[in-house]
Amino acid sequence: METPDPVGDRRRVDDLDARLKAARGKVEKPQQDGGQRSGMSHRQTSVAYRVLVDMIAGLLVGGFLGYWLDRWLGWAPFGLVVGLVVGFVAGAYNAWRAIRVYSDAAAKGDDEGRRLP
């Protein structure tokens, strides 16, 4: 059985720590602009989620209304198909509006802290 060598273990851990820090320094370049790039990334992510939610909500609401019309008027599958198409168009229009507002603000350069409608 080996006897524990705390000094050798400490050196190996310190060596591993130095190599990890060197590797992280090569991969993760520090931001020179005070972290504003990450803010843009978060803003772009929020716009992407907004588009996703608009599309899903449009399809769900349109599908529900189409299904309801099918059950109420007996138009089976036509109400559902029309409802899904209308829901898709409404979701795409809302997503386009959100993207347009974001891109207009970004083009002007005044998108700092701006909330989407």
Number of compact structural domains in the chain: 1
pLDDT tens string, the chain, 117 residues long: the values are: 677 888 888 999 999 999 999 888 887 665 555 555 555 568 788 899 999 999 999 999 999 999 999 999 998 899 999 999 999 999 999 999 999 988 887 788 765 555 555
pTM score: 0.60
9 within some domain: no
Q: What is the 3-state secondary structure (H, E, C) of the chain?
A: CCCCCHHHHHHHHHHHHHHHHHHHHHHCCCCCCCCHHHHHHHHHHHHHHHHHHHHHHHHHHHHHHHHHHHHHHCCCCHHHHHHHHHHHHHHHHHHHHHHHHHHHHHHHCCCCCCCCC
Domain with 62, as residue range(s), is: 41-110
What type of residue is 31?
Answer: Q
Q: Does residue 72 lie in a domain region? A: yes
Please tell me the predicted confidence (pLDDT) of residue 30.
56
Per-residue pLDDT tens for 10-23?
A: 999 999 999 999 88
Kindly state whether residue 66 falls inside one of the protein's structural domains.
yes
Residue 20 counted as domain residue: no
Q: Which amino acid is at 58?
A: G
> What would you report as the CA-atom Rg of the chain, rounded to the nearest whole angstrom?
27
Q: CA 37 from chain center: how many Å?
A: 15
Q: Is residue 4 part of a domain?
A: no
Per the domain annotation, does 7 fall within a domain?
no
In a domain, 16, yes or no: no
- Residue 34 is predicted with a pLDDT of 53
